[in-house]
């Protein structure tokens, strides 16, 4: 078992504004409050690891170089805020709609836990002490399958997927409020956070 605690993060719809098959740096935009939220997690001693399904690569919509350019841009922008991400893992595969070597049944595409498990090996992470945060049911299921505590945010596709999450999984309006809950003294959420969590989505 690893020694470090981590926050695993979906990318699109959790960190940045959802853009279907994001492939251009100019379309990358942080969801409000995200850089500050990430800095708080780092300051609290968590490793930050992005785990993102990127079947757009396998489908031929963009290549791995375009993905790395977006991640380089993300890292540079976060540095302005004094925040950083420790590692990014991505799955370019799809079992039905990809081409070439990307057309395969893999263990890394969420909801399977392969990316989280690989990061745990690479970075000495204790999955049981870690969280997985995302805006889709697949993110929640990947966290459960890896042995992490799953959290859903209602940004991106979260408002549509929240009705499907398993009982007991917590959901918050955005990453900033999810971080408030994670870092709350004694693990107790404020009454305001609990009310926001249970309020119905605006859309």
Please give the domain boundaries of the chain with CATH numbers for all domains: 6-198 (3.40.50.1000)
Place of tokens 């489908």: 59
pLDDT on residue 2: 80
| Coil vs helix vs strand at 104 | coil
C-alpha 93/C-alpha 157 separation (Å) is 21
C-alpha 137/C-alpha 163 separation (Å) is 9
Strand partners, 88: 50
Q: Which of 141, 150, 151, 143 is nearest to 171 (CA)?
A: 151
C-alpha 6/C-alpha 124 separation (Å) is 10
State yes or no: pLDDT of 191 exceeds 50: no
State yes or no: pLDDT of 201 exceeds 60: no
Q: In this predicted model, what pLDDT tens digit does every residue of 122-136 receive, in sequence order?
A: 999 999 999 999 999
In the structure encoding, which two tokens stand for residue 13, read together? Answer: 């719809």
Burial label for 97, CB within 10 Å (0-12, 13-18, 19+), is exposed
Residue positions annotated with a catalytic role? 10, 12
Q: Which of 91, 93, 198, 118 is nearest to 154 (CA)?
A: 198
Element (H, E) at 177: helix 175-182
Predicted structure pTM score: 0.90
Q: Which of 99, 112, 27 is nearest to 58 (CA)?
A: 99
Strand partners, 170: 151
Q: In this predicted model, what pLDDT tens digit does every residue of 46-92 receive, in sequence order?
A: 999 999 999 999 999 999 999 999 999 999 999 999 999 999 999 99
């Amino acid at each position: 078992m690893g020694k470090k605690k981590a926050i695993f993060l979906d990318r699109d719809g959790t960190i940045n504004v959802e853009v279907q098959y994001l492939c251009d740096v100019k379309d990358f935009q942080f969801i409000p409050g995200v850089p500050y939220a990430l800095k708080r997690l780092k300051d609290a001693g968590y490793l930050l690891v992005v785990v993102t399904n990127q079947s757009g690569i396998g489908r031929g919509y963009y290549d791995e170089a375009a993905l790395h350019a977006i991640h380089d841009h993300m890292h540079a922008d976060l540095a302005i805020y004094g925040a950083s991400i420790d590692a990014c893992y991505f799955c370019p595969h799809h079992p039905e709609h990809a081409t070439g070597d990307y057309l395969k049944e893999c263990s890394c595409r969420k909801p399977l836990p392969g990316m989280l498990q690989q990061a745990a090996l690479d970075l000495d992470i204790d999955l049981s002490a870690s969280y997985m945060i995302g805006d889709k049911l697949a993110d929640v299921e990947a966290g459960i399958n890896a042995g992490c505590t799953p959290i859903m945010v209602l940004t991106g596709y979260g408002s549509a997927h929240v009705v499907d999450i398993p009982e007991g999984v917590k959901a918050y309006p955005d990453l900033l409020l999810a971080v408030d809950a994670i870092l709350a003294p004694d693990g107790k959420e404020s009454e305001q956070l609990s009310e926001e969590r249970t309020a119905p989505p605006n859309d």
